[in-house]
Structure 1
Amino acid sequence: MSAPVAIAIHDLKQGRAALDAARRLSVPVALRTAPGAAAYLGAGYLAALEDALGVPLLVDCGGDAGLVMAALRAGSRRLAFNGRHDVAIKLQSMCGQMNARFEWETRPPSCLVLAPGDDPLRRLVLHLRE
């Protein structure tokens, strides 16, 4: 089985469409939020989005440690952070205590970033051809 294609989404409609496109193409996917989404969508919304999708969602908190902690409190258990190394070490410890997966991203993630209004099926097909 091939590695999942990471797809960055903005909302429930886009997440469902991305999952449907992946099923139609028989391609494994891993959903994550758009870059820095925790800052403008909010930790509570993203935890509810993951629940509504019924699949794990990697929450991109950018370089804001407070957003990582807010996402943990809201119930998210897969978190990405791109801030300072010393802060990442502390956040990783906190996440470990809460059985959460923590990813310290030292460079932009390699993923298909859907823009609002994109057709996930079309974009996924194009992405797979690259």
Structure 2
Amino acid sequence: MIRCVGGIVHDPAGRLLLVRRANAPGKGLWSVPGGRVEPGETDSAAVTRELREETGLSVTVGTLAGMVVRPAPTGFFEIYDYRCQVIHGQLTAGDDAADAAWVDAAIFATLQRDGALTDGLAAALSDWNCLPSS
């Protein structure tokens, strides 16, 4: 298993922070920001680092929303997604993100309909009550 983390962030309007993946796996698809946990790194430190690298935002890491297992090129990704709140920063795509955006419920539904979300994202966020609320 390859341990990974993700950050689930909503703005005050209830929109969800998503990034479009610039690299495999999931290149070109939208997902919550996140990535691999480095050796010796805590989940919280990894979420904080990944959000800063991919979105330019500094966050406070909160509670675990849920965990999913997804196929990896060799083995499986074990992804722990945490609820987060923005402390400061300006949203800008960086590092492994081709784009970053605050997505409302209508745009999320369109991305889902068009197959533009990473596999299983909508179902997991729905199960965890983390879909955009606006």
TM-score range, shorter chain: under 0.3
Q: Tell me: higher relative CO, structure 1 or 2? Use CA pairs within 8 A at least 6 residues apart.
A: 2
Specify which structure has the higher proportion of helix. 1
Higher CA-based Rg? 1
What TM-score do the two structures reach when normalised by structure 1? 0.26
Specify which structure has the higher proportion of strand. 2
What TM-score do the two structures reach when normalised by structure 2? 0.25
